[in-house]
């Protein structure tokens, strides 16, 4: 009888301890999530991640360089007739309009076509746009890794013979100094809206 | 006196036709097909591709198809369709070209249908018109001149001038 009572007591104790651990763990996960998400977009903590690529000037570029400063990142390729040069042109216009205020903004154009977009070609191509734009290329594996980190999609589309074009995520991501996704730009929205988002991002 | 007036009249007509030409988009016609204001954009250095845009009207009673083309500095020309779906830019080659039904006008414009210029042997420079051809299944081939707008322009250069939207990389706002 006494032995049975003490067994029940032990079970009760273990159960309560389990509840305690669950509550504590839940709280920790939640606070961690909140800390990472902060004022960014919902789910923003899951977008972005470490990468090392090669810049159009030939230097290795690590995502560590993005810490503590706002940055803009978008994917594209130079064998792109429309959306990529348009994005680069519009971004250049915004940078010019923002002037020195945008010097603190890191702007990254990441190729999804590393096979054709060599460092030399990126360097040549980007000479037509704002000098603050950094072109990034890498090995097929490095590009696969960075696109995965940013939840971007890219795929080769066969055209004629051996030739191909690319489908890719065309979103322009805006991250704050804490590395949180704050907003995105699209070319369907008015220029004023885009400028507003950029000014807000730069204001912190 | 009469010769002076005649000369003045001729000069006025010449001036009017010159201004008329620069102010309105150039049209081309082959069979029942009318092409209005073909244009493309200057390319960044090293670029190997560009897109050509225009409107095509079929004034006839039979459907026709744009099936091929050529463009000065391009080794090849294809007909493509681009679309942005859920934030993803998707490109598709139209193997059977673009159908233009009787009485229909099809617009080739940024973000949609375009004539794709491939393997450019030289950059497309802003300013000078570039000659190309278009081939229609029924109407046949026609030579056209593409106006060259600045890099990243959303509209033909002529439109820009008219609406004061500016050209080049000048900041508007």
Q: In chain B, what residues touch A97 (CB-CB under 8 Å)?
A: 171, 173
Q: Is B142 exposed, middle or buried (0-12, 13-18, 19+ CB in 10 A)?
A: middle
- Reduce the DSSP state of residue B97 to 3 states and report it: coil
Phi/psi region, residue A38 (left: phi>0; alpha: psi -120 to 50; beta: rest), is left
List, for residues B7-51, the tens digit of each pLDDT value: 555 554 544 444 444 445 689 999 999 999 999 999 999 999 999
Q: Is B80 exposed, middle or buried (0-12, 13-18, 19+ CB in 10 A)?
A: buried
Query: Tell me, what's the pLDDT at A46?
Result: 82
Residue with structure tokens 């980190």? A149
Mean pLDDT of A139-168: 95
Q: What are phi and psi of A194, to 5 degrees?
A: -65, -45
Q: Do the beta carbons of residue B149 and residue B104 sit within 8 Å?
A: no
Q: What distances in angstroms separate CA A125 from CA A92, A129, B109, B134, one per listed residue? A: 13, 8, 23, 29
Q: In chain B, what residues touch A121 (CB-CB under 8 Å)?
A: 46
- Give kind and range of the element (H or E) at residue A154: strand A154-158
Query: Tell me, what's the pLDDT at A161?
Result: 87
Please identify among residues 7-66 of chain B the ones whose CB lies closer than 8 Å to any CB of chain A: 41, 43-51
Q: Higher model confidence: residue A110 or residue B22? A: A110
Q: Do the beta carbons of residue B80 and residue B112 sit within 8 Å?
A: no
Q: Higher model confidence: residue A32 or residue A115? A: A115
Instruction: Report how far residue A25's alpha carbon sits from residue A29's, in angstroms, rounded to the nearest whole number.
Output: 6
Instruction: Report how far residue B46's alpha carbon sits from residue A6's, in angstroms, rounded to the nearest whole number.
Output: 82
Cβ neighbours, 10 Å, residue B121: 9
Question: For B118, which residue in chain A has the nearest alpha carbon?
Answer: A79
Instruction: Report how far residue B93's alpha carbon sits from residue A158's, in angstroms, rounded to the nearest whole number.
Output: 9
Query: Tell me, what's the pLDDT at A60?
Result: 98
Q: Higher model confidence: residue A75 or residue A187? A: A75
- Please spell the DSSP secondary structure of B60-73, one letter per residue: SSS-EEEEEEEETT
Angle at which helices A83-98 and A191-203 cross, to 10°: 60
Instruction: Report how far residue A53's alpha carbon sits from residue B40's, in angstroms, rounded to the nearest whole number.
Output: 33
Report the residue of A47, A82, A162 to disrupt the B interface, i.e. the one with the largest count of B CBs within 10 Å.
A82
Query: Tell me, what's the pLDDT at A18?
Result: 67
**Chain B interface includes A4 (CB < 8 A):** no
List, for residues B113-172, the tens digit of each pLDDT value: 999 999 999 999 998 899 999 999 999 999 999 999 999 888 886 654 333 333 333 222
List, for residues A41-61, the tens digit of each pLDDT value: 766 668 999 999 999 999 999
Q: Is A8 exposed, middle or buried (0-12, 13-18, 19+ CB in 10 A)?
A: exposed
């Amino acid at each position: 009888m006494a032995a049975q009572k003490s067994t029940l007591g032990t079970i009760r104790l273990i159960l309560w301890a389990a509840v305690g651990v669950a509550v504590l763990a839940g709280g920790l996960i939640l606070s961690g999530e909140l800390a990472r998400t902060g004022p960014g977009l919902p789910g923003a903590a899951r977008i972005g991640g470490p990468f090392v690529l090669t810049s159009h000037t030939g230097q290795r570029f690590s995502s560590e360089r993005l810490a503590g400063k706002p940055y803009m990142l978008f994917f594209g390729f130079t064998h792109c007739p429309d959306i990529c040069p348009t994005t680069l042109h519009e971004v250049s216009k915004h940078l010019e309009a923002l002037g020195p205020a945008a010097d603190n903004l890191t702007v990254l154009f990441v190729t999804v076509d590393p096979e054709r977009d060599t460092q030399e070609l990126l360097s040549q191509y980007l000479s037509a746009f704002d000098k603050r734009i950094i072109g990034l290329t890498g090995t097929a594996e490095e590009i696969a890794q960075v696109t995965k980190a940013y939840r971007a999609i890219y795929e080769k589309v066969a055209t004629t013979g051996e030739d191909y074009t690319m489908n890719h995520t065309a979103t322009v991501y805006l991250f704050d100094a804490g590395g949180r996704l704050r907003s995105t730009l699209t070319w369907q929205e008015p220029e004023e809206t885009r400028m507003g988002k950029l000014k807000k991002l730069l204001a912190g | 006196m009469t010769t002076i007036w005649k000369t003045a009249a001729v000069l006025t007509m010449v001036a009017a036709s010159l201004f008329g030409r620069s102010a309105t988009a150039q049209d081309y016609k082959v069979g029942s097909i009318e092409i209005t204001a073909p244009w493309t954009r200057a390319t960044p250095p090293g670029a190997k591709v560009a897109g050509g845009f225009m409107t095509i009207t079929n004034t006839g009673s039979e459907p026709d198809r744009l099936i091929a083309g050529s463009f000065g500095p391009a080794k090849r020309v294809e007909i493509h369709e681009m679309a942005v779906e859920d934030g993803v830019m998707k490109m598709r080659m139209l193997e059977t070209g673009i159908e233009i039904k009787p009485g229909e006008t099809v617009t080739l414009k940024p973000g949609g249908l375009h004539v794709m210029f491939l393997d450019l042997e030289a950059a497309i420079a802003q300013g000078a018109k570039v000659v190309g051809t278009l081939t229609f299944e029924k109407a046949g081939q026609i030579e056209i001149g593409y106006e060259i707008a600045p890099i990243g322009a959303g509209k033909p250069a002529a439109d820009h001038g008219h609406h004061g939207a500016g050209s080049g990389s000048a900041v508007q706002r």
